[in-house]
Chain A
């Protein structure tokens, strides 16, 4: 809502600057986004009369105008043609300034020296009309400063009106609140017969029969007919006000309906009476196949949920949203039919959304307009219309079949204080509510409150609490910090997750955050088998992009897109990770969250997953050291960091050839027998499909098994006070034997005294036999009870030799 300050001051005279008023409205009513002065900076533009207009030879558009402001009579060149000799116009003479500081001078075009220019409405900062120059009405005082005459210095408050405060979408409603808050006097314009709204007196008979066929959607219909109007532009002051309020001036007839809406909050639609078939009006829902060409020129197909205003031939308006083109006010209109109705919010909201038509009217209906405002708006509209277009009010009727019941609210004053943290007396609370028009009567220890008609949002007792604290002032409520009576904290798995993220960042991995949307084609590209659980995706009804229209069942597509995005930007070394939810169809082992009471719907399981992707160099090059390309062992190392950070038990690693991995470079990870995920080099064809570099490595593991116990503290090792024994041993086995199994065998064979066993060399060559590999280990034996001897070492080595021979057919390399 754009509120021109001068217009608001017609209703309430609050003695505050525009900025102070904006602050007051913000902390008491609704947020003021901005204070704007669209015409600021204008200077020395005067009202002039066009003396003569002549085409300029050699130009298709320009005219030679002679203009006078009573003092000077000079030549002006003008590109518009919407005026004639005798018209009053806004003349920006040489030396004058337009909004934004544009200084006007003299220019010569086609041999004519133009003394400044004639201004359009847009050039003066009044609205956006630039189709021609702004023709002022004929009584505009010649030579007057346009700025002063039209009050162009007016500030405009831009209000962000919350859905509950529909009344703030009207100058009257806003003024009423300001009067309540500041104590200033409310000045409502004289609204003629509206004061007797219960039984309005209309001259003559109702010339247009109105039927409300759907009284659930249309609660009231005040119809008025005005004959013999003179259609034309509105006076400049009204045009300026409408433009400042953000509405395009159209004609005196349309402008009157818009001005009355801005003042009263009740949208109004005007029809050319002679174009209404019948004339007769029916308010009903649309029938199958009905169409309506609306004012914006769009031919719309209607549905049975659209409320329409119909004449004898069918729909002439989408109720509360937009009128029809066929019956709209036009240059030839002589008789006007005014529709000042009341529609329930939901019907307008649905229709406006369905047809993508948010209008000034629908914005007000959606927030709720009280039926009581219809006759007020009708009277104001007629008054404005007659003042600007003449004509006679011939008749009308106010159709109001069933006035809705208004709530009566019981207000417990002490509970209000408890709720708000205030200590206001019952009288003080009542006075605040009375200031906005509530009637308050004491009733056994509490009060009975009847809210005013213009506040349909006041329904429950708590709604009154809000009015009390708002009018009293939020800033006047004391501040208290309650004790929760408990120690705060995160769940153990949440704390463990933080440890995991910290460990990974410390280990060189960067956390990323892709959207959780993928395409089914991504899973095909990952070569996941058709029966893989991850292929059963859950789709979005209205995805952000058609390409990624399902919820992710794996983090890998998102991570690979991150890699590709960076590589495409010459960031070719990447090591990224993500922790996020997957969305899987629930199973009995892995159910989703429960649905709400009475809801028959299952939610997806949302396990947390930890994903990795890396390409390029893992260790950056330095002047004394080349770059080291990332490989599978870097991802395995990252998993090891994670395991260590949370104190989980050792992971089991075994080779796997499953998708999307390179069949010879993939590992399956298990924790205490539970498979938790895979890591490995991406299959070359998968890498190609995703457009990521060859040798890109990835990993994805379920996080929950790792963090479910929180961070587990490991028992400390007490070092042996004795030096122990250190020795190396190399074993030769067939190259196909997994190194992990050999190391386990070496450890097992070395016995309980082993405190360290480290692989330090891997060798293959003719001297140890074709197809063999030599694995050399450095072992440390410790026994805090006695000094170990060469005999202990020799014994251990023999045991290793025996075990390696037995398990793998291997031998020691002596």
Chain B
């Protein structure tokens, strides 16, 4: 029995003094392995008498249990030590640049337009789109624009030649075909193709014969709203535009309506919002003029409605702190990628 105790002491010492997992494996083989010393003792049990066999057998099992315990404890220590060293050697510099997949950006005007449309969709409006080349009737006549209105002139509106024609038409060079100067022609296309109640939002690109500068573009974007029903009033116009403006600019934005003039609405208004102490024009609006309803095939005694149009590009400027509208059409990737 004292041999067994000595064996145990020897083995524990060997286990505990192992400095690597290989040394521990070797010690384990030497004492507890298949050809180990403890196993050798175990093999002699059969030659012992019955009573000794039981006694020694129990003692061998106790030693084996003790050795297993010591070994696994030492193994855990050595494995932790090994991991520490090995993984430390595998350390990387996590402050190196990340591996970002190539990233593109969407145009701020398009994104602003979709964000504004989301608000109108939330108010129950459906989105309608229309052509960019329009006729005089849709862009002007049906919108109650007088025949000699300055907006019809070549100074303001870009006209389109009849197909395959290049000659200058006579006498005032307008041709009946033009690049729409506003999204309002779609009011008429909507009225002529759908029955009230109408609640539509009309986004689109519009054109003016303007010289480009920091605050004017010859091509810009508008969103037109049109609501036509049997019982709408100026109060509905105000309420709708106030909730839409708050959704766009924040619940605390200060707003004011003031009189304005558009040939296609009566009464007409502009809505201003206050930014950094200054009033900024947000949109033009009004009750749809009876002449416009009539042109759209609707009886103004039966239907009323309101309409508004607002610039998208300026809103994009506001969202992104852009101070020059030309950036929006220059397509400089340094600008676009910064968004």
Report which A residues bind B (CB closer than 8 A). Answer: 26-31, 162-165, 345-346, 349-350, 353, 366, 418-422, 460, 462-463, 465-466, 469-470, 474-475, 477-491, 494, 498, 501-502, 504-516, 536, 538-544, 551, 562, 565-566, 569, 571, 574-577, 581, 583, 585, 592-593, 595-599, 601-604, 606, 618-620, 622-623
Contact = CB atoms under 8 A, between A and B. Distances in A.
8 contacts: A31-B260, A482-B227, A484-B197, A484-B199, A490-B127, A508-B103, A576-B331, A606-B132
Contact of A508 (B102, B110, B160, B266): B102
Given A479-B235, A488-B124, 9 more contacts: A419-B234, A419-B304, A421-B236, A466-B259, A469-B267, A498-B114, A508-B104, A510-B104, A565-B330
Interface string B227-238: 101011111101
B103 to A, nearest CB: 6
The 6 A-B pairs of least Cβ separation, nearest first, read: A421-B235, A596-B137, A484-B124, A508-B102, A421-B233, A466-B267
Contact of B218 (A515, A536, A562, A595): A515
A487 B134 CA distance: 29
B7 interface: no
Contacts of B164: 536, 585
A420 B232 CA distance: 9
Interface stretch (B26-34, B62-70, B75-83, B148-156): B148-156
Contacts of B128: 491
B3 to A, nearest CB: 55
A422 B238 CA distance: 12
Interface string B183-217: 00000110000000101010000000100000000
B209 A544 contact: yes
A488 B176 contact: no
B317 interface: no
Given A488-B125, A505-B106, A623-B96, A541 B219 contact: no
Given A31-B270, A484-B124, A544-B158, A601 B177 contact: yes
A350 B146 CA distance: 13
A509 B104 contact: yes
Given A483-B124, A512-B336, A540 B259 contact: no
Contacts of B188: 596
Main SS of chain A's interface residues?
Answer: loop
Interface in B102-140: 102-107, 109-110, 114, 117, 120-138
A484 B123 contact: yes
B35 interface: no
A696 to B, nearest CB: 14
B331 A562 contact: yes
A575 B266 contact: no
Given A511-B107, A515-B218, A490 B117 contact: yes
A541 B229 CA distance: 39
Interface of B: 96-97, 99, 101-107, 109-110, 114, 117, 120-138, 141-142, 146-148, 150, 153-155, 158-166, 168-169, 173-177, 179, 188-189, 197, 199, 201, 209, 218-219, 227, 229, 231-236, 238-240, 242-243, 256-261, 266-270, 287, 289-290, 304, 328-334, 336-337
A599 B336 contact: no
A603 B135 contact: yes
B259 A420 contact: no
Nearest to A482: B236
Given A462-B290, A597-B137, A346 B266 contact: no
A480 B236 CA distance: 5
B158 A542 contact: yes
A93 B310 CA distance: 54
A540 B142 CA distance: 23
A513 B103 contact: no
Contacts of B168: 541
Given A31-B258, A490-B117, A511-B107, A349 B199 contact: no
Given A462-B287, A595-B135, A595-B137, A504 B197 contact: no
A353 B155 contact: yes
Contacts of B256: 27, 475
Given A510-B337, A513-B109, A606-B131, A489 B163 contact: no
Nearest to B217: A515
Contacts of B199: 484, 486, 488
A418 B148 CA distance: 33
Contacts of A565: 330-332
Contacts of A618: 102
Given A489-B126, A540-B161, A622-B99, A596 B141 contact: yes
A623 B102 CA distance: 15
B124 A486 contact: yes
Contacts of B126: 486, 488-491
A575 B104 contact: yes
A531 to B, nearest CB: 14
Contact of B163 (A30, A483, A488, A602): A602
A420 B334 contact: no
A539 B160 contact: yes
A488 B122 CA distance: 6
B231 to A, nearest CB: 7
B163 A349 contact: no
Contacts of B242: 479
A565 B330 CA distance: 8
Nearest to A417: B233
A623 B240 contact: no
A418 B233 contact: yes
Given A466-B267, A541-B154, A510 B333 contact: yes
B286 to A, nearest CB: 9
Contacts of B127: 488-491, 494
Nearest to B232: A482
A463 B266 contact: yes
A350 B171 CA distance: 12
A510 B111 CA distance: 13
A126 B129 CA distance: 52
A507 B239 contact: no
Contact of B238 (A477, A491, A598): A477
A286 to B, nearest CB: 15
B331 A514 contact: yes
A530 to B, nearest CB: 14
Contacts of A419: 233-234, 287, 304
A162 B260 contact: yes
A244 B155 CA distance: 30
B189 A593 contact: yes
A510 B332 contact: no
A426 to B, nearest CB: 18
A551 B146 CA distance: 28
Contacts of B257: 27, 474-475, 477
Contacts of A515: 218-219, 329
A583 B239 contact: no
A513 B261 contact: no
Contacts of B268: 466
A597 B106 CA distance: 39
B334 A569 contact: yes
B161 A485 contact: no
Contact of B107 (A513, A566, A595): A513
Nearest to A536: B164
B102 A619 contact: yes
Given A485-B197, A486-B124, A541-B173, A477 B234 contact: yes
Contacts of B329: 513-515
A353 B153 contact: yes
A542 B173 contact: yes
Contacts of B173: 541-542
A498 B97 CA distance: 31
A599 B122 CA distance: 37
A603 B197 contact: no
Q: Which of A26, A353, A484, A583 has its CB near the most chain B CB atoms (within 10 A)?
A: A484
Contacts of B122: 488
Nearest to B267: A466
Given A420-B267, A541-B154, A585-B163, A571 B107 contact: no
